Amino acid sequence: MSGGGQPERAAAVGWDRREFVRAALAAPLGAALLAGCTAAPGTALDAGLDATDEQLLDEIERAAWHYFADNCHPLTGLAKDRCGADGPDSRVVASMAATGFALTAACIAERRGWIERAELLERIERTLAWVEAELVHHRGFWFHFVDHGTGARVWRCEVSTIDTALFLFGAITAGVHCDSPRIRGLVDRLVDRVDWTWLRRADGTVGHGWRPETGPLAHGWEEFSEASGLYLLAIGARRHALDPSSWRAWRRPVTSYREHRFIGDRVPLFTHQYSQAWFDLRGRLDDGIDWFENSRTATLAHRDFCLQLRSEHPHFAPDRWGFTASDSAKGYVAWGGPPAFGPIDGTVVPCAAAGSLPFAPDECLAVLRRLRHEHGERIWRRYGFVDAFHPDHRWVAPDVIGIDVGISMLMAENLRSGAVWRWFMQDERVQRGLRLTGLGAASEPLRVTR
């Protein structure tokens, strides 16, 4: 799911988030990762946050809510893919993924007291009703990028399986939290009309998407990626569900780096974050794999990887590290490690740490504290942190990207309260998908320490 939002940026570098996934190398499934510390499903992590931590996370979440409040169209509810860091601008392109984050963000805003419940219900119902009645779909799937006022397809983009799933994660979250019969009915109809089998390929994996001009895209979600949640929802669907065997159809390559060993080969850090912004996988073993612990290990490996780059980029430090697919001085790029991939130039991307807050609270909070207090207004604007910046070259991204703002907000809330997990995990389709894939039962809850 690309957050590039402007094709000239992606074209200049040749990569966006989905194109990177296509290039990820296949590898045999390695030894399973064993379970780490877990917590009861839907509960907050016992991270021992102090008042200063709470204040910082509250600032991040409140600024993120400003983004969605400013940039969701008043008629359609569709959220802009990106805009300037200082406030709304004239761009009109929305993404379905950003709108899924926006639906969840509204629930958080109401929980935090930033909007009234009546406003929440009106906002959610208006968005879902417009999408159901007006937005063009193909067997339940929507185009990746659309005009946020009309819903018209832009840039000849694809009908996107992952962006559809991310929208539905937000819709399901809102349906549970709002507990309104009308909203639940809208959510059920939107989820039920998706034909998850349409783009299922011969090997059991799901394709990336479809274009009216050329048909199905050549590539699919064939190895570890941000699409794990897509599979879980599709398998748990009430209608047109995927066969549970699709969960085992995608490859699980193992990366070893120093003392770290985790599933995921040459994928940006966001791939370890997105599905688990909604799916609470703590303590749920998948043939011995604890996916929450896997994401924690991948986060710590990325931190160590950044520290090993200090000979080239001396500004990396234990409290200033992290990059994932983002804007850069040369355009939108997918980059990461270990192992290293992409045109790594020392750019720091705040949502890399923010999106991993539940996995490694101490390490990620240290980054966010330093960025907020040392770099100040240079990188902190109306919507919180800019998308990316370079500490040495003085380059600062002029924009923020909706999905990067969204993952920061959702993971901050999950660290503080577990609310997004708690809402989403109550849905019967979610529970069915977990059960049918063997992830239905969490292990004995343990105290999660920082």
Q: Which CATH number characterizes residue 369's domain?
A: 1.50.10.140
Q: Is 1 part of any domain?
A: no
Q: Is 437 part of any domain?
A: no
Q: Is 62 part of any domain?
A: yes
Number of domains in the chain: 1
What pLDDT is stored for residue 47 in this prediction? 72
- Name residue 95's beta-bridge partners: 145
Q: Is 409 part of any domain?
A: yes
Tokens 């990325």 sit at which residue?
302
Alpha-carbon distances of 231 from 156, 205, 432, rounded to whole Å:
26, 9, 12
Q: Is 314 part of any domain?
A: yes
The pLDDT profile of the chain, 450 residues, written as one tens digit per residue, is 545 544 333 333 333 444 433 433 333 333 334 434 344 556 677 778 999 999 999 999 999 999 999 999 999 999 999 999 999 999 999 999 999 999 999 999 999 999 999 999 999 999 999 999 999 999 999 999 999 999 999 999 999 999 999 999 999 999 999 999 999 999 999 999 999 999 999 999 999 999 999 999 999 999 999 999 999 999 999 999 999 999 999 999 999 999 999 999 999 999 999 999 999 999 999 999 999 999 999 999 999 999 999 999 999 999 999 999 999 999 999 999 999 999 999 999 999 999 999 999 999 999 999 999 999 899 999 999 999 999 998 899 999 999 999 999 999 999 999 999 999 999 999 999 999 999 987 754 333 333
Domain that holds residue 375: 7-427
Closest CA to 235 of 252, 249, 255: 249
Q: Is 66 part of any domain?
A: yes
What pLDDT is stored for residue 448 in this prediction? 33
Angle, alpha carbons 137-89-135 (nearest 5°)? 10
Residue burial 56-76, b: 16+ Cβ < 10 Å; e: rest? bbeebbebbbbbbbebbbeeb
- Name residue 254's beta-bridge partners: 263
Give CA–CA dist 97/167, Å, rounded.
Answer: 5
Q: Is 449 part of any domain?
A: no
Residue 254 C-beta-side C-alpha neighbours within 13 Å: 11
Q: Is 46 part of any domain?
A: yes
Beta strands in 240-385 (DSSP E): 254-257, 260-263, 285-286, 289-290, 326-328, 331-333, 380-381, 384-385
